[in-house]
Structure 1
Amino acid sequence: MYFPRLRDLREDKDLYQKDIAQLLGITQTVYSRYERGYQTIPIPHLLKLADFYQTSTDYILGRTNDPRPFPQPSSKRK
């Protein structure tokens, strides 16, 4: 699956693939495979990217065009 928004989000922050790879603890080659759709993104990496870019996983995956993150669940339960 191809994730064009990964590249767009990275470039909007003027970062290189190696910068994001370092954030994820992987090689630049593996991260490049994520961007080009040659390798599936593991869920922990997807979550870390969504947090880093302050967006939702659905936005990264192309399931929505709204880049705003979803509200965080309240820690208080009734």
Structure 2
Amino acid sequence: MTLEEAFLLDTLRCRFKYLREDSGLTQQEAAHHLDVPFTDYLLYEEGEHLPDVLTILHAAALYKVSVDYLLGQTETPHRDF
């Protein structure tokens, strides 16, 4: 695993968990909203597996944040429309 991949996994892990908790969702509820198996969602929050592009897009829509924020490209969570 490259340093960039490790950084991305860690960033997504942190953002998925923070946004889920901030929204008051359980891991099971988040998995349901994102239409992914619960076991896959657990791996995202553990930083063991990268979500696919559609899951990242769904997460951005669910939490009303930008994809750039989820990927760690910005610290500003708001989407610009």
What TM-score does the superposition give when structure 2 sets the normalisation length? 0.80
Runs of at least 4 residues off by over 6 Å: none
State the structure with more CA Rg: 1
Structure-1 separation of matches of 2:59 and 2:33: 9
- State the number of aligned residues: 71
What TM-score does the superposition give when structure 1 sets the normalisation length? 0.83
Give 1:1-78 correspondences, 5 Å limit.
1-2=9-10, 3=12, 4-71=14-81
TM-superposed CA distance for 1:24, in Å, is 2.0
Q: CA RMSD in A?
A: 1.0
Structure-2 separation of matches of 1:60 and 1:25: 18
Instruction: Specify every segment of 5 or more residues in structure 2 that has no aligned partner in the other structure, as ranges.
Output: 1-8
Instruction: Specify every segment of 5 or more residues in structure 1 that has no aligned partner in the other structure, as ranges.
Output: 72-78
Looking at secondary structure, tell me which structure has more helix per residue: 2
Q: Percent identity?
A: 34
TM-superposed CA distance for 1:32, in Å, is 1.1
